[in-house]
Structure 1
Amino acid sequence: MCRNIRVLHNFEPPATEDEIEAAAIQYVRKVSGTTRPSAANEEAFEEAVRAVTAVTRTLLDSLVTKAPPRDRQVEAAKARARAAERYGRPGTDPS
């Protein structure tokens, strides 16, 4: 489940609220051990997602770096190339 959490810091444009919430959902799913909470746990699950989303936004807003911002398309191409090499997908063009 957690492998879907992506690096959100130091991108241009900055991470969107949707990206931050998606990472929070993945985190809460991993920690809780479930992708869908029961009705009895739904409120706690949703509150945890809200809290993790908020603290993640605070973290991202507070981080400082001297590195130049990364380009999302370049990073996605690198990830596709790594996946093609790792999984040996014939015919996969990493560019």
Structure 2
Amino acid sequence: MLHNFEPPATEDEIEAAAIQYVRKVSGTTRPSAANEEAFAEAVRAVTAATRTLLDGLVTKAPPRDREVEAAKARARAAERYGPREATSV
């Protein structure tokens, strides 16, 4: 989710979401050399469309705090999957 955060989503976050979307749709994380340009163009188009969408959305809800939302997500994950154990390197 990228909408209604304070501070707003960055271009890097929007592009990362676009890459995730294109990977999901294409079924690949790394395109072949033959498909690399099509993949890159799709990422550019989805990034632009996402920016247009985010710029056009209107809400009456107060902006969400990124740290609070991240903490909620970690709590949900811990409840679902159990607490993460520290691993030594």
Q: Please tell me the TM-score bracket, short chain as reference.
A: over 0.9
TM-score by length of 1: 0.87
| Percent of aligned pairs with the same amino acid | 90
Aligned length: 86
Question: Which digits, 9 at most, give the CA deviation of each residue in 1:27-73, with x for residues without a partner?
Answer: 00000000000000000000000000000000000000000000000
Over aligned residues, Cα RMSD in angstroms? 1.4
Structure 1 runs of 4+ with >3 Å offset: none
Residue ranges of structure 2 left out of the alignment (5+ in a row): none
Matches of 2:42 and 2:69 in 1, distance apart? 29
- Say yes or no: does 1:67 pair with 2:61: yes
Residue ranges of structure 1 left out of the alignment (5+ in a row): 1-6
Larger RCO (CA within 8 A; separation ≥ 6): 2
Deviation of 1:80 (Å): 0.4
